[in-house]
Amino acid sequence: MIGKVIVAGLLMFASAPPGGGTGNTTVESSQKDRTVAVTLKDSQIVITGTGLSGRSDGYRVKRPCWYEPGKNAADMLKEQQDSKPTWIPETEWRRHLDSLKQFEEKVGKEGRWWTRGYNAADPDALSCLAGLEPYVFVPPNTTPPSGITVTELADIARAALTVPEPKIKLNPDARSYVNLPTWVWLDDVGQTTRSVTATLPGVMSATVTATFDSVKIKSGTTSTRAEVREKCGPGGKPYTKGAEFDCGVRYLRASADQPRDVYTMTVTSVWTVTANVAGVQYDPIQADATRDVPVGEVQSTVRTGTR
């Protein structure tokens, strides 16, 4: 529920972090020209899981700043008292003493001070922070306006979730031929289930999981020049002698008239994404890779017999 909260926005020393918190979690990942997905600053949120080292799809957390529950009144007062500089002008000293009053008034009262956390990877983070007071005192069992929710925690986990970049394998590998099946599969997929958990210690957590679902193939040309088969399942299907060809491309025309004399095949791995938070749904993650495929004509040799 959202209840009455008391804000505190007096003197902030230059040494204090912008968000007012003490945590600092950084998860950085990129996908070609995509930017960093999530870089948490002044946050207590801890990000863990098997889906952190891979390829981000650039998912953006919807709100770049928020409040997180922090210390109780007595502990916050001590922190503020301990943060005073060793020497400051008298005028600044008086301002420091005035700033402590807001914290002294809350000692003995139930509740916690909530402080700001933010996603430094978002270009709107600083303008978002400007709209939040550095500290708000919140009664027990109450969430202030702009307080972090479990849904937003799931969004942070989603932004940190990555999948491996596809590594395309073909058979034939170096060159294919007209009407010859070109088998397609992905190499070194690794774990087909990857998850990330965002945890606010002692408060709540959210886990987002990506599961490798399927492979999509684009031949790099029109349907009149290539036949695509996509009954690939997760990972595609490596060439097996005598097996039915149902994952790959059969090119119907040579690539000699194409730019650079090749078709550019695109293979996409599709990962379904789920969250353990009620009502939270995400679109699948799709990761692409390309491969140049030169396709030649089958040459036949006619031998003339001798008498």
Tokens 């009149």 found at: 224
What is the rounded end-to-end Cα distance, in angstroms, of the chain?
A: 100
Q: How many C-beta atoms lie closer than 10 Å to residue 14's C-beta? A: 5
259: in domain: yes
- Percentage, residues of the chain above pLDDT 70: 81
**271 and 186 within one domain:** yes
**133 and 190 within one domain:** no
User: Token pair of 77, please?
Assistant: 């007062």
Q: Give every CB contact of residue 8 below 8 A, 6+ residues apart in sequence.
A: 102, 103, 113, 133, 134, 135, 136, 137
User: Is residue 257 within 8 Å of 192, Cβ to Cβ?
Assistant: no
Domain boundary among 107, 142, 160: 160
**152 and 172 within one domain:** no
User: Is residue 196 within 8 Å of 57, Cβ to Cβ?
Assistant: no
**pLDDT, position 135:** 92
Whether the predicted pLDDT of 15 surpasses 70? no
Quote the Cα angle for 53-69-74, to 5°. 130
**279 and 258 within one domain:** yes
Whether the predicted pLDDT of 171 surpasses 90? yes
305: in domain: no
b/e per residue, 259-295, with b = 16+ CB within 10 A? eeebbbbebebbbebebebeebebeebebeeebebbb
> Would the pTM of this model clear 0.85, i.e. be above it?
no
**142 and 226 within one domain:** no
**125 and 176 within one domain:** no
**190 and 140 within one domain:** no
99: in domain: yes
**209 and 156 within one domain:** no
Count of domains for the chain: 2
**pLDDT, position 103:** 86
Whether the predicted pLDDT of 306 surpasses 80? no
104: in domain: yes
Segment 61-85 mean pLDDT: 88
**pLDDT, position 186:** 95
**16 and 150 within one domain:** yes
- Percentage, residues of the chain above pLDDT 90: 66
**175 and 125 within one domain:** no
**pLDDT, position 106:** 87
- Which has more pLDDT, 84 or 246? 246
Q: pLDDT digits over 216-263, tens only?
A: 999 999 999 999 999 998 888 999 999 999 999 999 999 999 999 999
**pLDDT, position 57:** 86
301: in domain: no
The pLDDT confidence band at residue 8, using thresholds 50, 70 and 90, is very low
Q: Which residues constitute the domain of residue 51?
A: 6-160
Whether the predicted pLDDT of 93 surpasses 60? yes
307: in domain: no
Segment 158-171 mean pLDDT: 94
CA pair distance 143, 295, nearest whole angstrom: 62
b/e per residue, 84-108, with b = 16+ CB within 10 A? eeeeeeeeeeeebeebeebbeebee
